[in-house]
Amino acid sequence: MTIEKLEPVAIEQSLREHIAGARAAIETRLATIVPTAQTWPARLHEAQRHALLSPGKRFRPLLCVFVAKGAGFDGEAAIDVGCVAEMVHAASLILDDLPCMDDADLRRNQPTTHIAFDESTAILTATALLNRAFGVLSRLENVEAEKRIELVDLLSYAVGSKGLIAGQMADLANSDSNASIAEIERLNTLKTGALFDFSVEGAAVIAGSKAARRAALKDFSHHLGLAFQLMDDVKDTVMTDQQAEKSVGRDVGKATILALTGSAAAMERLSGYIDSAKSALARAKLSNEPTLNAVLDAQFSFLKS
């Protein structure tokens, strides 16, 4: 297996511009959703902006925006819900990189928050981002109170002791070389999939989607989360820090699908996850399925076997 940077996938110009426009709107909102770096206490807010505004693909907010639009909702609240997912993602990365966790010093090709600032500031920054995320959901404009409450509940579950935090706890204890693929998938569903679930289901909530569509989208986000985590495991194993844009080699000694099955089988499984995600997306019958497929293709385009 080789991993290399490939040319961007062939996407027609109109789609490319559409995705770029959505990403620009997300970036603009992220820059205003937290206080300026000069706001007291300045060091804390500088650290927030360091973590949140560092260059990223904004995959989760793009999913939220386009799923909502494909389901019939085109308001700015979709951008805010997507930005909430990005805030929580940034907070989780800050914590994941700490010396007591993965002890990483590079994230998105810049120093991790505890390296750029200090551990205490990093922990407080993650806490502040998480708290702000719930505040954003509570004040969504042109979204009914019942839907805002449902979004808050979804986020609390996604982040909580049965979601992302549970996944991180399990990952810290992940040293069982006899773990089954099903057990590893369960861990990956919690650690990575929970936030994809929120991004996609949150979009369905504000769009008022019916049960059948929400079920298909749940299946979509589930397989997408599995694919994304397996892709991340591949990066950790075969890429340099510069290629992965983060500290790698943090999975040594952990039970991963890649370690359990070998590279060829892992790549085959990754392809299967992506195919299953796209199949579920088709069942959701969104009006902009080609756009979402283009977003997925771009996210996974650098994988080559």
Report whether 250 contacts 102 (CB < 8 A): yes
Return the pLDDT at 250: 57
For residues 169-185, one letter each, b for 16 or more C-beta atoms within 10 angstroms of the residue's C-beta and e for the rest, the string is: ebbeebeeeebeeeebb
Return the pLDDT at 251: 59
CATH, range 2-304: 1.10.600.10
Return the pLDDT at 302: 65
C-alpha span between 23 and 291 (Å, rounded): 13
Domain boundaries, the chain: 2-304
C-alpha span between 216 and 284 (Å, rounded): 5
Return the pLDDT at 2: 42
Return the pLDDT at 9: 47
C-alpha span between 28 and 53 (Å, rounded): 10
Helices (H) and strands (E) in the chain, counts: 15, 4
Return the pLDDT at 260: 82
Query: Average pLDDT by consecutive 10-residue portion of the chain (305 residues)?
Result: 42 83 96 96 97 94 98 96 97 94 89 96 97 97 96 96 90 76 88 94 98 98 94 74 59 73 87 96 97 92 61
